[in-house]
Amino acid sequence: MEHGEHLAAIDLGSNSFHMVVARQAQGEIQILDGLSEKVQLGAGLDRENRLDEETVERALECLGRFAQRIAGIPRGSVRVVGTNTLRQARNARDFIRRAEAVLGHDIEVVAGREEARLIYLGVAHTLADDAGQRLVVDIGGGSTELIIGERFESTETESLHMGCVSFAQRFFPNGEITEKAFDRAVTAARQEVLSIHANYQRLGWQQVVGASGTIKAISLVCVENGWSEFGISMEGMKKARKRVIKAGAADKLGLKGLREDRQPIFASGLAILYGIFEQLGIEQMDVSSGALREGLLYDLLGRFGHEDVRDRSIQALMNRHHVESSQAERVCATAQTLYQQVASDWQIEGDEAADTLRWGCLLHEVGLAVSHSQFHKHGAYLVTNSDLPGFSRQEQQMVALMVRGHRRKVPLAALAELPEDEQTCLLRLCLVLRLAVRLHHARSDEKVPEIHVQATGNRLAITFPVGWLEQHPLTQADLEQELDYFQAAGYQLVLA
């Protein structure tokens, strides 16, 4: 793939067809467009497992619209996959032939475990590259994938024969919802999970992540109705279960946060997830923005290396806005040297703090791409509002505050909006960055001398080699100006 070349991924799911159009830029994938249409391919299977003509026509009309969007993208840069319904349909080959004629691109039907691997890849690229195993769950229209993996590699993949469309037809015909039917659906889901239960429990996991539309819909309902603080909790699902059963019918759900087109399959999706939580003993699930189609994009690029997607996002932002990397690296190296001397005394140790400092150093001048005037504020805006795969909103906010606070007044009001236990740490990291920036104001390759830094409470003392400051009067003036900014932030800077 050449820089800037467009690519696309299409997921022919059992409930919805999804497409994302993206471009490769500076080693990352930038999503340009996303389309999704509820086709319900799985509902079009008759008793002989053949897709009926009405469903086929509906699917082809959708693909016709997709085709218009990807016109001009070369064949090798588009990947189209069919999942559970096309794995089951006896006339799948005929459908694929007609669909390929409409799209102008090849369609491949992936096996359940391959689908699971791609889902994990898509999810992994939206999360931090933390050590430790994670369990990923994706409930589709006709199948449910459960994957255990670490970083960008899936180690155990399973695709179970249950989905929100097939369970809706099986347990909630005509949209009727009863407590007995719901419990039967939960039991059926638990029975499916039972086959992998022992192996998955043996492997274990430290984090549970859900993906795709069904789980996103459940999460939104739980959060919007105040049943879960974030993501999906078991307690939240218990409350959702009560409301669903009380409604008695799909068209009477009236749940806050639930789209109308999701109502017919909400109860079935909830029952499946409820069964998974019960059988595997899950109490809390985070929700990812990535899924199969994102996995297809990364698979298309052959990205299988163990790399932190956040680092790639930072580098891409630097490249995109032409950050002077040599200056960023100078500041970063000096800041890390200072950090190592004060981290323990200032209680700012740990990978998270070190990473935040490093990212702040690398991006501190990103705002120069907008204007030199107030560039620290422009930079904070860019970091806050850019798509940075792998970063949580909280992480992105912290890096933005580092950029905002590396010069001029320390943004105390903005820092005060953070949780109390994070305010002091980020302020101290910001002060370390400010000193590193001052020491490299000349933007030269002259090495900073070996300096000693001692932190005691809100006091920071810096000792330079004898005579060095007198030989560098501009640096001395910069640091003396910094005394006032430190004092305004409640800290004392001592130069010796």
State mean pLDDT over 4-12. 86
pLDDT band at 130; cut points 50, 70, 90: confident
Q: What is the pLDDT of residues 409-421, one digit of tens each?
A: 999 999 998 877 7
- In the predicted model, is pLDDT for residue 1 greater than 60? no
Confidence of residue 75 (pLDDT cuts 50, 70, 90): confident
Q: What is the mean pLDDT of residues 62-85?
A: 91
**Residue type at position 490:** G
Q: How confident is the model at residue 309 (pLDDT cuts 50, 70, 90)?
A: low
pTM of the model: 0.62
In this predicted structure, the answer to whether residue 300 has a pLDDT above a threshold of 90 is: no
Nearest Cα to 190, choosing from 144, 127, 125, 248? 144
Tell me what the mean pLDDT of segment 423-451 comes to. 95
Instruction: Tell me what the mean pLDDT of segment 368-372 comes to.
Output: 94
pLDDT at 392: 58
Specify the pLDDT at position 39.
93
Tell me the pLDDT tens digit for each residue of 107-122. 888 888 888 988 999 9
Q: How far apart are CA 137 and CA 145, in angstroms?
A: 6
User: What b/e readout covers 263-296, taking b as 16+ CB neighbours within 10 angstroms?
Assistant: bbbbbbbbbbbbbbbbbbebebbbbbebbbbbbb
Does domain 113-293 correspond to CATH entry 2.40.340.10?
no
The residue assigned the tokens 């409470």 is 457
All CATH 3.30.420.150 domain ranges in the chain, comma separated: 113-293
Q: What is the mean pLDDT of residues 374-396?
A: 84
Is the pLDDT at 128 greater than 80? The verdict is: no
Give the mean model confidence (pLDDT) for residues 264-289. Answer: 96
Torsion of CA 437, 439, 444, 449, to 10 degrees: -140
Look at residue 440 and tell me whether its pLDDT is greater than 80.
Answer: yes
What local confidence, expressed as pLDDT, does residue 389 receive? 60
The encoded tokens of residue 13 equal: 């799911």
Q: Mean pLDDT, to the nearest integer, of 327-337?
A: 97
Q: Determine the pLDDT at residue 28.
A: 72
Among 81-90, 264-273, 277-286, the least confident range: 81-90
Contacts of 339 (CB under 8 A, 6+ apart): 348, 354, 357, 429, 432
What is the average per-residue pLDDT within 85-91?
Answer: 92
Could you report the per-residue pLDDT of 150-172, keeping only the tens digit for each? Answer: 988 889 999 999 999 999 999 99
CB contact set of 183 (below 8 Å; sequence gap of 6+): none
Closest to 75 in 3D by CA, of 7, 141, 14: 7
Class of domain 6-109 (CATH, top level): alpha beta
| CATH 3.30.420.40, the chain: domain bounds | 6-109
Rounded mean pLDDT, 341-356: 93
Q: In whole angstroms, give the CA distance from residue 158 to residue 83.
A: 14
- pLDDT for the residue 303: 39
* Phi and psi, residue 270, nearest 5°: -65, -40
Provide the pLDDT for residue 3: 37
pLDDT for 308 equals 60
Q: Which residues make up the CATH 1.10.3210.10 domain(s) of the chain?
A: 309-447
**Fold for the domain defined by 309-447:** Hypothetical protein af1432 (1.10.3210)
Residue whose tokens read 């919805």: 16
